[in-house]
Amino acid sequence: MKMNKLKESEIDLSVDIAGVKLANPLMTASGTCGYADEYADFVDLKTLGAFVTKSISVAPREGNEYPRIVETRAGMLNAIGLANVGLEVFLKEKVPQLESLGLPVFVNVAGTTTEDYLKVAEALEDVDIVKGCELNISCPNVKAGGIQFGVDPNAVENITAELRKVCRKNKLIVKLSPNVSDITATAAAAVNGGADALSLINTFTAMAIDIEKRAPILANATGGLSGPAIRPVAVYMVHRVYTQVARPNNIPIIGMGGIQYASDALEFLLAGATGLAIGTALFVNPQCIVEIRDDIADYLARHGHGSITEIIGTLKIG
Amino acid sequence: MCSENKMSGRGVYMATVVVNEKICDEHFLLRLYLAEFPSAAAGQFVQLQCRPPVAQAGAAEVARSEAGLPEFSSPELTDKESLLRRPLSLAGRRVSGDGVELEIIYRVVGTGTGWLAGTRAGQAVSVLGPLGNALPIIPDKPQVALVAGGVGIPPMIYMANALHNAGKSVTAFNGVRSKSLLPLSPGSEPISPEGLPRLCCSQFQSSDASAVVASDDGTVGYHGLVTEPFDAWLDGEAKAAAGLVVYSCGPEPMMRAVGEICIRRGIECYLSLERHMACGMGTCQSCIVKIRDDSPQGWSYKLCCTHGPAFDARDIIW
């Protein structure tokens, strides 16, 4: 088929995540971009479609002991332990700087009890710039926190339903763990509980061992694996959740896991993701956001697509 | 690739290797030319991408083999293994022609620095920085001692230069495991085997600083730990303690000992710490240091990259 090559300026990169309009599908993966001010010198964050904050819990958290990261082949393990400034400081000090971005903001919400999640989500209803809560029920690095909600479909449905009641203005996004036997089960549970969107995947629980000391390298013993090493699994999980849960229910997916280049991002779009989150790659090259955006436009132009939405979920399986 | 209109100028810059030469076992001197780079000071560091900078290839049509299969040219298959950048302290910065030259002395410890050791003049290297804070120069302290170990010596060369320009009297104590690992070249006087300050290292002599060299195995200078001649020197300088400030960089046990000596003697002391870090920009939250404060628990985690890398020895909880 002959394609009519379009000019990049004619390409519409905008997407819609459950009613929130984004200029393009790119966003930050929670925990990899702080509260925006950290990266201000290194990249124009206005290039993003939306900003996703680091996890916010009711009380501030110091996080885990050192060492918190270790590099592995084509990836890294982290066990930060949801270190964050807490809800009060977030509202007072971080929200004003997020407002200056002029982007839709999704706040990643963490907690150890249902009440914790509800308290944060309730407070965010009064913040205009916040358009959604991303429910972190899949952090692998906090004991007795988050993850136990994320691996059991019943628990996922229950906590999503509870949050649904307090997220009135804000959209409710549920971030899924890959550390489950069937991610479509937890995805379906989140949708049954009332999720507006799904984001996947969080990191894989993993371990690296110091063979001389015969001890784990991370102080937390285990950490979450991210980076290009996990991308093929993430693409597969997005494909499965898209075909079996998201498409039938008309629920958008925010895809993430090892995206470094536009070619990676395009795999996620073709597999069914509407939004794209960049995480580990930002540590290496903060400007990759701009490069990925422009290269996606170039791909669309070369294939004669005027809008990015024309390629979402268009994977052909013979 | 250059950053755009940033207030501070911090950003991602493309550099060209001018010189990359072995100066002693395991240590290389890397001189990089950049068309532009912000002003930087002793104590600051950069994050080098230890693999060839790749052009973003997301838009390019995927090449096909004769059988019609995609030919994978993804960087994660073709690059050396290291994904994250490597934080390296600056040993010098100077204006060169229309641009800037950065000097870095690094020790080959793994995959990333191993790749760097193989770079040749003319090769491109991506530089992120400048990062961290300058070592504080204390106005009312005319006398300065630098205590460095191993690969902690290079940033002290830069510091000696800055202190000399500020009119300070500098004495540099340098510890190595063995003579073959000393990244310094001879000065006009011989190195004292008794650990007495001499104009014995050209890099410090150019800042009018006398130097002491100590080695663990006695193959050069004083036979023993660098903290021993440092402590002995302080005995002679004890009356001047109020006008003396100490900076230290090197292995953690050495810095800890230097800190304890200074605290005991009531001498102001700054330790430039090293931590594993992914980003260097304050987002990954991995390079934590436990610092005393007036919070209820008496401490909080500070980031080595954005709060440091140097901390007042009295504030560090080891």
Find tokens 């784990």 and name the residue: A216
The residues of A that are catalytic are 139
The answer on B265 and B287 residing in a single domain is no
Q: How far does B13 lie from chain A, in Å, by closest CA?
A: 10
Give the separation between CA A147 and CA A182, rounded to whole angstroms.
15
Binary contact (A260, B283; C-beta < 8 A): no
Per residue in A51-91, pLDDT tens? Answer: 999 999 999 999 999 999 999 999 999 999 999 999 999 99
Same domain, yes or no: B266 and B222:
yes
Nearest to A42 among B10, B82, B275 (CB): B10
The string of pLDDT tens digits covering residues B272-300 is 999 999 999 999 999 999 999 999 999 99
All residues at 6 or more sequence positions from A188 whose CB lies less than 8 Å from its CB, including other chains: A153, A244, A245
Strand partners, A107: A133
pLDDT at residue B6 in the model: 41
Angle at Cα A209 formed by Cα A205 and Cα A215, nearest 5°? 110
The answer to whether B56 contacts A261, with C-beta atoms less than 8 Å apart, is yes
Instruction: Tell me if residue B93 falls in helix, strand or coil.
Output: strand
Rounded alpha-carbon distances, angstroms, from residue A103 to A30, A44, A197, A275, B180 = 15, 12, 18, 14, 55
Beta bridge partner(s), residue B93: B102
> B60: distance to nearest CA of chain A, Å?
7
Please identify, among B83, B106, B131, the residue that sits at the C-terminal boundary of a domain. Answer: B131
pLDDT at B1 over 80: no
Contact B276/A at CB under 8 A: yes
In a domain, B61, yes or no: no
Quick check: B69 pLDDT over 90? no
CB contact under 8 A, A63 and B288: yes
Which tokens sit at A281? 């790659």
pLDDT (average), residues B63-70 = 83
Per-residue tokens: B11 = 């950003």
Test B57 with A75 for CB contact under 8 angstroms. no
Is 80 exceeded by the pLDDT of residue A8? Answer: no
User: In chain A, which residues have their Cβ closer than 8 Å to the Cβ of B62?
Assistant: 263
- B29 and B101 in a single domain? The answer is yes
B 40-69: CB under 8 A from A: 49, 56-59, 61-62
Mean pLDDT of B201-213: 97
Are the beta carbons of A263 and B75 separated by less than 8 Å? no
For residue B304, give the chain A residue with the closest CA: A66
Looking at the structure, do residues B148 and B268 belong to the same domain, yes or no?
yes
Task: Give the number of beta-carbon pairs within 8 Å between A and B.
Answer: 135
Of B128, B286, B306, the CB nearest to A78: B286
Domain membership of residue B58 (yes or no) is no
In a domain, residue B288? The reply is yes
Residue range B261-271, pLDDT digits in tens: 999 999 999 99
Over residues B222-236, mean pLDDT: 96
- B145's enclosing H/E stretch is strand B143-149
Say what the pLDDT of residue B5 is.
Answer: 38
- Furthest C-alpha separation in chain A: 61
Q: Cα(A34)–Cα(A98) distance, rounded to whole angstroms?
A: 11
Compare CB distances from B281 to A39, A261, A299 and report the shortest one's residue.
Answer: A39
**Residue B66 pLDDT grade (very low, low, confident, very high; cuts 50, 70, 90):** confident
Q: Is the pTM of this model over 0.95?
A: no
| Residue B211 and residue B175 share a domain | yes
C-alpha A228/C-alpha B51 separation (Å) is 15
Q: Report whether B44 contacts B134 (CB < 8 A).
A: yes
Residue partners of A120: CB distance under 8 A and separation at least 6: A56, A57, A58, A87, A107, A109, A110, A111, A133
Confidence band for A120, pLDDT divided at 50, 70 and 90 = very high
Q: Which uninterrupted H or E stretch holds A121?
A: helix A114-124
Residue B318 touches partner A, C-beta closer than 8 Å: no
B59 lies in some domain:
no
* Closest chain A CA to residue B5: A41
pLDDT (0 to 100) of residue B58: 59
The residue of chain A nearest to residue B110, with distances taken between CA atoms, is: A71
A37 falls in which pLDDT band (50, 70, 90)? confident
The CATH number of the domain covering residues in A8-63+82-205+226-310 = 3.20.20.70
Q: Which of B11, B278, B289 sits opposite A41 (nearest CB)?
A: B11
pLDDT tens-digit series, residues A247-300: 999 999 999 999 999 999 999 999 999 999 999 999 999 999 999 999 999 999
Is residue B183 one of the residues assigned to a domain? Answer: yes
Query: Could you tell me which of B112, B94, B113 has the C-alpha nearest to residue B42?
Result: B94
* B291 reaches A (C-beta below 8 A): no
Phi then psi for B104, rounded to 5 degrees?
Answer: -135, 130
Average pLDDT, chain B: 92
Same domain, B268 and B285: no
Whether residue B113 is found in the same domain as residue B210: no
Asked if B84's CB is within 8 angstroms of A68's CB, the reply is no
Residues B103 and B171 in one domain: no
Least CB-CB distance to A73: which of B62, B81, B276?
A: B81
Residue B2 lies in a domain: no
**B148 & B267 share domain:** yes
Interatomic CA distance for residues B286 and B49, integer angstroms: 18
pLDDT in tens, B118-163: 999 999 999 999 999 999 999 999 999 999 999 999 999 999 999 9
Give me the interface pTM, i.e. the ipTM: 0.91
Instruction: Compute the nearest-CA separation of A120 from chain B (Å).
Output: 22
Query: Are residue B232 and residue B248 in the same domain, yes or no?
Result: yes
Q: How distant is the Cα of A193 from the closest Cα of chain B, in angstroms?
A: 32
pLDDT confidence tier of residue B93, bands split at 50, 70 and 90: very high
Average pLDDT over residues B96-117: 95
Domain ranges of chain A: 8-63+82-205+226-310
Q: Best residue in A66, A84, A293 to probe B by mutation, most B CBs within 10 Å?
A: A66
> Do residues A77 and A141 touch, judged by C-beta distance below 8 A?
no
Report residue B57's pLDDT band, with 50, 70 and 90 as the boundaries.
Answer: low
Please, are residues A191 and A146 in contact by the beta-carbon 8 Å criterion?
Answer: no
Q: Are A5 and A299 in contact (CB under 8 A)?
A: no
> Which chain A residues are closer than 8 Å to B300 by Cβ?
62
Amino acid making up residue A93: E
The answer to whether residue B81 neighbours chain A at the CB level (below 8 Å) is: yes
- Hey, which of A3-17, B47-61, B197-211 has the most confident mean pLDDT? B197-211
Residue B126 and residue B33 share a domain: yes
pLDDT single digits (tens) A214-235: 999 999 999 999 999 999 999 9
Asked if B211 and B307 sit in the same domain, the reply is no
What band does B239 get if pLDDT is binned at 50, 70 and 90?
Answer: low
**Higher pLDDT residue, A199 or B52?**
A199
For chain B, the first-to-last Cα distance in angstroms comes to 40
Q: What is the CATH number for B233?
A: 3.40.50.80
Distance from CA of A262 to the nearest CA of B (A): 4
Q: Which domain holds residue B85?
A: 11-53+68-131
Asked if the model's pLDDT at residue A147 lies above 90, the reply is no
